[in-house]
Amino acid sequence: MNKEKKMIERNIELSAEFSRYIFEHPDIEEIIPSGAEIILVPEFDRELKEYNLKLGKEIEAKGEKVVYLEIKNIRPKILSRLENVELASL
């Protein structure tokens, strides 16, 4: 798999997490200017951070509005949200 494809896949995953974050923190939408391209800057992933910053600069060079959102950390993936599951004999 080439580097660009890997970066795209990592951005898709990060974007999905950001969508969940917005759902839980709708106030953040109010501070993002309308029509702006959102560039996620993951501090925990140097390679993806550099890739996204370059992408953001390319968008800015075209005269488009860009907002950079720093993401300091990401929690580990949780396979299931279920808790306290027990076998019941009904």
Q: Where are the beta strands (DSSP E) in the chain?
A: 37-42, 66-71
> Roughly what angle, to the nearest 10 degrees, separates helices 46-61 and 3-24?
90
Kindly give, in sequence order, each residue whose CB lies less than 8 Å from that of residue 44, ignoring residues fewer than 6 positions away.
71, 72, 73, 74
pLDDT digit string (tens) for 29-74? 888 999 999 999 999 999 999 999 999 999 999 999 999 999 999 9
Mention every residue, 6+ apart, whose C-beta is less than 8 A from residue 51: 7
At 4-35, the pLDDT tens digits run: 999 999 999 999 999 989 988 899 888 899 99
- pTM of the predicted structure, to 2 decimals: 0.81
Under a CB-based contact definition with an 8 Å cutoff, are residues 53 and 41 in contact? yes
* DSSP-derived secondary structure letter, 11: H
